[in-house]
Structure 1
């Protein structure tokens, strides 16, 4: 299917501003918002607007830092005693002053969370984007008003993007202009893992063979599956990288062949992956994972690793059916990992051919075409899909 939108009415913009409202902090884990906003900064002045932080300050203020050319991260800092509706009003005032202070002739608002609608009603954007990367209402501790606010965001948005094909199928009837942009890949970055190199210091003493995972460890990570698998494979070392959130670290499995190395920078990941023998994705099959499209799937493959995953729908349909990722359930996981360890990455040519059709650069380019079209037309469009798989 088409990856771009052709429109003879597209016109260049002299001074466009894009404000991205995110529930994920810039420095948390480098993923979809960071990939896209970094590329957007070549076309826009980009402000990545985070959720507030409460500190001992006399009055609300904005903490601003430049993280890349044309891209700044802005965080509202609020006094501890501010609460409830006062929070939203304080953020709204800070945001209005911020926008007024940035010279621009065109404003794009880009939402990752519908919750931002609580403080953005005074903005007059030229284009509104809802980039729905996850089904947030299914996550642990989701705000009760999230579903209602998402319905408002569907009414407000000019265009809706989804982070995977399952999300596309779920959302496509709720808006007139929905496009699927599944997780993509910075191939050159993860190709670094294919080169022989020294282990990072905290991985040097871990024996082989190694099965590795990186990502957020939360309710989507199947702790019970990991415990059973590592117990069944005592000679295999399991290396896990990433922050632990929304679950008690004390509940994580422990043992001589389990290694929790904590969060690492995006730039460090290929070096750790270079020392792994298999990448695995032990996701739980629950409401929080029903619509995910894990970015680590193409990242593991680009790093030259054989990959074993639980039956996440988007992973099965995009990678499993093509034989690029082995799909296993609780009972078959040890056998699937053992096979992958023996087989190694034997599908490199097919993997590379498949990944050559994917990139964050091409994803942003297609999104940018849609933004320009929405700016000029601002007319209802037929729902369609941009298929990168």
Structure 2
């Protein structure tokens, strides 16, 4: 449930440190954690703490890289350890040394993964945030202890954010201060796709019309729908950008009109989108997609593309009902894509809707909620979970 606190911040943020514990690596795909932590660096010294990497013969050490003013990426580098408990102890020691070596008078811990609780118990934070961007327990290969640790994180957190409205409805009863912050948009970045420009080299030889997708290719991507739709529309070219994870690349469909271009940098995406005619989101409808709020929805729209999607709940509720995204199933997908190719994007309606969205606005609203959360902790109030 939403909670509003009007008290001013008791202690000013003179020298605050924010440590973000993420299951996603900084250089994997630029998405919600990267957007928010980049903006957080204007208000905090931000440490983006990644999951460990293992290198035979190494000693436990932190690999550190500054990627922007006030923003450092930290990766534990460990030798291969015989048990998970040894890994957690090694990371806990490295983390304790890291925090001790950074001068700060406030500490905010920001969790994307409850799994980080296994090595953060000794931290004495002023504010604890759980930014629940996905239902990780529903993802392929989810750790068996994830749900138990998430319950602990709800008890520890001062404030909880969710990455969409479906997640908000699912989590709102588990904490006294849950706030929905659905996927937002860097409009200026994706508006670049509206300008005429030369195709990237690996897209130049692909004919038109083009239907495009970018994002992670995993169990959420409906490869059977891709194969059937491409077969039903042989004169349309299907372009897909993104890393393939958790599924065998050999299972991806092939064909003369199917093009897998691999992962691209965030800066490159508008250049590829400029050469597409429709953006589509062929998500499977399964446990892993039940609560997703795809960031690419507003990104496609900001790029000037008409968009067709399967019936992802948050997409239907936020965009489909407003007529901004066409919703189709396997049987109607070819017809929906064909209609979108003929219709194009209704720029005025899209721009009016997106005008109220930005990652800057999202971060500002989140940051404001951290201040009353700190007041509550100093006054001795914690989440309702603590009192059950």
TM-score normalised to structure 2 length: 0.96
Instruction: Specify the alignment match of 2:371 in structure 1.
Output: 372
Deviation of the 1:81 alpha carbon: 3.4
Instruction: Specify the alignment match of 1:31 in structure 2.
Output: 31
Instruction: Specify the alignment match of 1:137 in structure 2.
Output: 137
Deviation of the 1:140 alpha carbon: 0.2
Q: Does 1:268 align with 2:268?
A: yes
CA distance in 1, matches of 2:364, 2:82: 41
Residues 1:127 and 1:229: Cα distance change in structure 2 (over 3 Å)? same
Question: CA deviation digits over 1:201-249, x for unaligned, max 9?
Answer: 0000000000000000000000000000000000000000000000000
Residues 1:202 and 1:88: Cα distance change in structure 2 (over 3 Å)? same
Instruction: Specify the alignment match of 1:326 in structure 2.
Output: 326
Instruction: Specify the alignment match of 2:298 in structure 1.
Output: 298
Instruction: Specify the alignment match of 1:197 in structure 2.
Output: 197
Deviation of the 1:57 alpha carbon: 3.4
Deviation of the 1:376 alpha carbon: 1.8
Instruction: Specify the alignment match of 1:387 in structure 2.
Output: none
CA distance in 2, matches of 1:7, 1:289: 38
CA distance in 2, matches of 1:159, 1:349: 36
Alignment of 1:15-164 (within 5 A): 15-164=15-164
CA contact 1:9–1:376 (8 Å) conserved in 2: yes
CA contact 1:177–1:380 (8 Å) conserved in 2: no
Deviation of the 1:56 alpha carbon: 2.1
CA contact 1:5–1:366 (8 Å) conserved in 2: no
CA distance in 2, matches of 1:3, 1:116: 26
Residues 1:343 and 1:248: Cα distance change in structure 2 (over 3 Å)? same
SS in 1 for 2:121: coil
TM-score normalised to structure 1 length: 0.96
Q: Where does the alignment leave 5 or more consecutive residues of structure 1 unmatched?
A: 384-389
CA distance in 2, matches of 1:350, 1:95: 48
Question: CA deviation digits over 1:80-125, x for unaligned, max 9?
Answer: 2353210000000000000000000000000000000000000000
Paired residues, number? 381
CA distance in 1, matches of 2:57, 2:383: 47
Question: CA deviation digits over 1:20-45, x for unaligned, max 9?
Answer: 00000000000000000000000000
Instruction: Specify the alignment match of 2:359 in structure 1.
Output: 360
CA distance in 1, matches of 2:198, 2:5: 45
Alignment of 1:189-338 (within 5 A): 189-338=189-338
Residues 1:356 and 1:302: Cα distance change in structure 2 (over 3 Å)? same
Question: CA deviation digits over 1:115-174, x for unaligned, max 9?
Answer: 000000000000000000000000000000000000000000000000000000000000
Q: Where does the alignment leave 5 or more consecutive residues of structure 2 unmatched?
A: none
Deviation of the 1:59 alpha carbon: 1.5
SS in 2 for 1:288: helix
CA distance in 2, matches of 1:82, 1:330: 46
SS in 1 for 2:288: helix
CA RMSD, Structure 1 to Structure 2 (Å): 1.5
CA distance in 2, matches of 1:55, 1:321: 50
Residues 1:298 and 1:382: Cα distance change in structure 2 (over 3 Å)? farther
Deviation of the 1:303 alpha carbon: 0.2
Question: CA deviation digits over 1:255-308, x for unaligned, max 9?
Answer: 000000000000000000000000000000000000000000000000000000
CA contact 2:8–2:375 (8 Å) conserved in 1: no
